[in-house]
Chain A
């Protein structure tokens, strides 16, 4: 008989090669489990994954669709990662994204027609601001009232969805249309297309720039230093002279800003209007994106690309192979679970001890 024990490794933290290894294994395990699920439901996993792959990378058009999905995932993922670094778990990226979309739509519809191309920066900025305010509110409840930001941000998600739901059915509804959506924003307020035959827009460049900026903010500025201090140890940060409450609110507001920007880009780059369900759960995908990216701003666009491909591929998988696209959530959840498990094995070694009779 053996007894399994875990022995702490001498070296704290994993090196890059090991964490990359864990990430790849996590993805493979998740794919294997989902293949088993597909197989168990009497569908063909090979066809399923083939259509998934072709659906994502099969053509210029599908690849550009992947990049379109990568953009909001990356931005919201950056937001989640930033909050994480600062010791806050922001699962409200969805709500913040929705509020960002709302603000940018309103600004582009009201101010847009009079300011020409300035509508683009104004629209993006307004999305940032409202998303940031929405995030800051959760940060404030956490810092001042000691209420778990997890519950607060989830509640705020529901509230934002219902608010937008009402606005697009009521006050903001396009008066000339029948659909529950607003009127289109002026052409001058839209993000330019990068490739004319596709829907790929300049927002993807904004996402890349944001990743670099967040990296600089987090690792090369005094503010970023404070954020990371608070994230590692609040008590120590407080004794070190950091105003922890203020930093928490600021962290959540930066996080919300990034998610809000994602929402604004969805409006200015893709839909050109606000509609119900503008975020098909991007805020939750963002958590998996941030964790797979190891909370590193420069790795997050890459993991966002992966999950973007998964999303686009899953849609064609559902169409062609009749495998429900909700499989994506299963894959994401399992990836996260195995990443977490992998972290443990980065810190501990397994040891089998012979049990004495």
Chain B
């Protein structure tokens, strides 16, 4: 039983970076933007988290730096994909390249060659008094680091925002039919800017969850595809915050299982065990196939009628 609880708790912890990025992806998908750049936003967030935390000795500053860096990446994405009407997938890929280059450059300059940063000040577990003593649920959910709590709050907020506010209605309308939304008086451009910047902010936090939330170090390209797995998690979660929460837990569990199998002597080469999250992603996508329908205008640029 204790083993199971420890496993669940680890799954939750490993699900947070994916979930944070995935929540950002929901913003994008729902407003009709396919954000391939999440991976790069996470990576940038991961580095800025470490940099902010190292320079000030305050992990909280690192967290803020990561969020701001992610939001700036989101802004750049929006300028090219929303204003300049460029192909969203290509903009995302370009941003991914930029962030691999930028983080690799900065990191190599800062660390001159060690390949990873020394242990930086990070977030430890912050048990929530009272709640942590609930049997089973307590240790799994309420004895975690700050990022898990941020996630929980964000899921609730996003759920309310999406289904119970005018802004959410506008956003969903834009994702399905931007032209109709625009005719209704929704400023599609502004809305997509907001969505993409919010997603960058969340993805940046997701990156920080990886660097100063979990490992307390930065490794080049440490996001390792999680930005893409986040996109898969949103599809699996049917573009819904709570569904995505559950989907992210599946990927978190795959990650936790992978780590455990590597330590346990199973005789399976570790490379195949490391493949697990990626294979799970493919299988999940194949199983979900047509059942989860993406918002109709996803990936389609919106051109204002001639002015």
Contacts and interface: CB of A to CB of B under 8 A. Distances in A.
Interface of A: 5-8, 37, 41, 89, 91, 141, 145-148, 150-152, 154-156, 158-159, 162-163, 165-166, 169-170, 284, 287-288, 291, 324, 326-334, 336-337, 340-341, 343-344, 347
A151 B36 CA distance: 9
B199 interface: no
A152 B36 CA distance: 12
A330 B105 CA distance: 9
Contacts of A327: 101, 105
B205 to A, nearest CB: 21
Residue of A7, A324, A326, A347 ringed by the most chain B CB atoms within 10 A = A326
Contact of A151 (B83, B272, B285, B306): B285
Nearest to A284: B97
A102 B103 CA distance: 31
Contacts of B264: none
A345 to B, nearest CB: 8
Given A162-B271, A326-B220, 19 more contacts: A6-B307, A37-B102, A41-B105, A89-B90, A145-B289, A146-B290, A147-B235, A150-B228, A151-B231, A158-B275, A284-B100, A324-B108, A324-B109, A326-B103, A330-B97, A330-B101, A337-B76, A340-B94, A343-B86
Nearest to B307: A5
B112 to A, nearest CB: 9
B289 A336 contact: no
Nearest to A145: B289
Contacts, number: 145
Contacts of B84: 340-341, 343-344
A226 to B, nearest CB: 22
Contacts of A336: 90, 93-94, 97
Interface stretch (B11-19, B58-66, B171-179, B276-284): B276-284
B87 interface: yes
B211 to A, nearest CB: 17
17 contacts: A145-B289, A147-B286, A147-B289, A148-B34, A151-B232, A154-B228, A170-B269, A284-B96, A284-B100, A326-B100, A326-B105, A330-B97, A333-B98, A333-B101, A336-B93, A340-B91, A343-B86
B225 interface: yes
Contact of B93 (A91, A148, A341): A91
A158 B307 contact: no
A51 to B, nearest CB: 16
A169 B269 CA distance: 10
Interface string B256-292: 0000000000000101101100110110011001100
